[in-house]
């Protein structure tokens, strides 16, 4: 069981505070697709209680609200939180290339969105541009180190070969999530002092260079202080990665996939959902709600998951050992 001490909240670094308290129900905007058919992004984190936040899907996402989750009762309560500790967001820099006073460029720069995160400990911040991750001291707002995403002097396994799409900053470790043009998304680790830890592989425990853990149609989650989780397509398995000492732990989810064949599941993992009707129904019910699903671990050891797709707005409680669904939680939805 993972220990879950309270995480210092640094939400003011992520999003502007909202003056109005959120209702204890999910507004229709959280579960309704936009004009392009996209649903808002749901992220679950600890602030320090389990907290669900919703964001629209623009270049520089705006917060739609955050709610504290009572996993035992399946109820939501109003939360003044506007961002989750350690979770990066795409934020629009100002004309000088700065975000909340954290600056990379010495002169004027286009006010383009950049990935930005405050560490879960609240001591450091990270900003990612096209070439590097820039780390800052939160107290002084001075840059302490810049880490090249691709360094010819470094090992290839430490170079981010994909386009960065997400940033997590857990304790003193930075995680860059990179996506390529195909069905592949990998995760690379860096320390706040500039050390390059490399990509996360599926067989990390063997101590050899292995296959990069692919989170395409899966997810990357901050479980609590000291651990993150990488889930593969549809959460068929999950790698729990400790920060610092300790070995990663692979958990396979106990769930039925029949009548889907192995080939059907491989097609699903590659993003092909043109499956036979009976298999498609199983994928939609058992696996699609876990595409890009966000998890935290509760004090009991069980995992709480914010589901997506056809189950957007619902949560699930998963067994700590098997990841089997123990129950679905359906928070109240606002009438408007």
**H/E element, 316:** strand 315-318
**SS3 readout for 276-301:** CHHHHHHHHHHHHHHCCCEEEECCCC
Round to whole Å and give the CA distance between 95 and 304.
Answer: 40
Q: Residue 64: what pLDDT?
A: 84
- DSSP letter for each residue of 169-233: EETTEEEEEEE-SSS-EEEEEEETTS-EEEE-BTTGGGTS--PBPP-TTSEEEEEETTEEEEE-G
Instruction: Tell me the sheet residues that pair with 305.
Output: 295, 316
Conformational region of residue 263, where left means phi above 0, alpha means psi within -120 to 50, and beta covers everything else: alpha
- Whole-structure pTM value: 0.88
How many Cβ atoms from other residues are within 10 Å of residue 327's Cβ?
11
Conformational region of residue 81, where left means phi above 0, alpha means psi within -120 to 50, and beta covers everything else: beta
Please provide the distance, in angstroms rounded to a whole number, between the alpha carbons at the two ends of the chain: 40
Round to whole Å and give the CA distance between 82 and 67.
Answer: 9
Per residue in 287-308, pLDDT (tens digit) is 999 999 999 999 999 999 999 9
Q: Residue 112: what pLDDT?
A: 73
Q: Residue 36: what pLDDT?
A: 82
Round to whole Å and give the CA distance between 65 and 209.
Answer: 42
Per residue in 229-241, pLDDT (tens digit) is 999 999 999 999 9
The encoded tokens of residue 322 equal 């098997």
Q: Residue 18: what pLDDT?
A: 38
Q: Residue 11: what pLDDT?
A: 38
- The structural domains of the chain, with segments of one domain joined by +, span 11-329
Do 294 and 43 contact (CB within 8 A), yes or no? Answer: yes
Q: Exposed, middle or buried: residue 145 (CB in 10 Å: 0-12, 13-18, 19+)?
A: middle
Q: Residue 2: what pLDDT?
A: 44
Round to whole Å and give the CA distance between 13 and 139.
Answer: 12
Q: Residue 93: what pLDDT?
A: 84
Round to whole Å and give the CA distance between 91 and 114.
Answer: 5
The dotted CATH code for 11-329 is 2.120.10
Which residue numbers in the chain have pLDDT < 50? 1-22, 205-208
Q: Residue 322: what pLDDT?
A: 96
């Amino acid at each position: 069981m993972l220990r879950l001490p309270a995480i210092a909240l640094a939400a003011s670094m992520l999003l502007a505070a909202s003056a109005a308290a959120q209702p204890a129900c999910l507004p229709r905007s959280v579960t309704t697709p936009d004009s392009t058919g996209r649903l808002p992004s749901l992220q679950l984190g600890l602030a320090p209680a389990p907290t669900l936040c919703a964001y629209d899907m623009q270049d520089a996402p705006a917060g739609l609200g955050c709610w504290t989750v009572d996993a035992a009762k399946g109820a939501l309560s109003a939360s003044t939180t506007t961002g989750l500790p350690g979770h990066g967001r795409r934020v629009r820099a100002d004309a000088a290339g700065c975000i909340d006073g954290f600056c990379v460029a010495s002169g004027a720069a286009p006010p383009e969105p950049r990935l930005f995160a405050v560490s879960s400990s609240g001591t450091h911040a990270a900003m990612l541009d096209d070439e590097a991750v820039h780390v800052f001291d939160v107290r002084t707002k001075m840059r302490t180190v810049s880490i090249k995403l691709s360094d010819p002097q470094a090992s290839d396994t430490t170079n981010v070969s994909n386009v960065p799409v997400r940033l997590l900053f857990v304790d003193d470790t930075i995680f860059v999530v990179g996506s390529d043009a195909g069905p592949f998304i990998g995760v690379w680790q860096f320390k706040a002092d500039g050390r390059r830890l490399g990509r996360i592989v599926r067989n990390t425990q063997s101590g050899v260079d292995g296959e990069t853990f692919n989170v395409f149609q899966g997810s990357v989650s901050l479980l609590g202080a000291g651990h993150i989780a990488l889930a593969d397509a549809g959460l068929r398995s999950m790698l729990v990665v400790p920060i610092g000492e300790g070995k990663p732990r692979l958990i396979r989810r106990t769930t039925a996939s029949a009548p889907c064949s192995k080939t059907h599941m491989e097609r699903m993992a590659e993003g092909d959902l043109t499956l036979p009707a009976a298999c498609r129904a199983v994928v939609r019910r058992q696996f699609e709600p876990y595409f890009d699903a966000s998890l935290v671990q509760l004090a009991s050891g069980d995992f709480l998951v914010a589901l997506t797709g056809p189950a957007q707005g619902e949560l699930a409680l998963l067994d700590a050992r098997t990841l089997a669904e123990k129950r679905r939680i359906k928070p109240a939805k606002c009438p408007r």
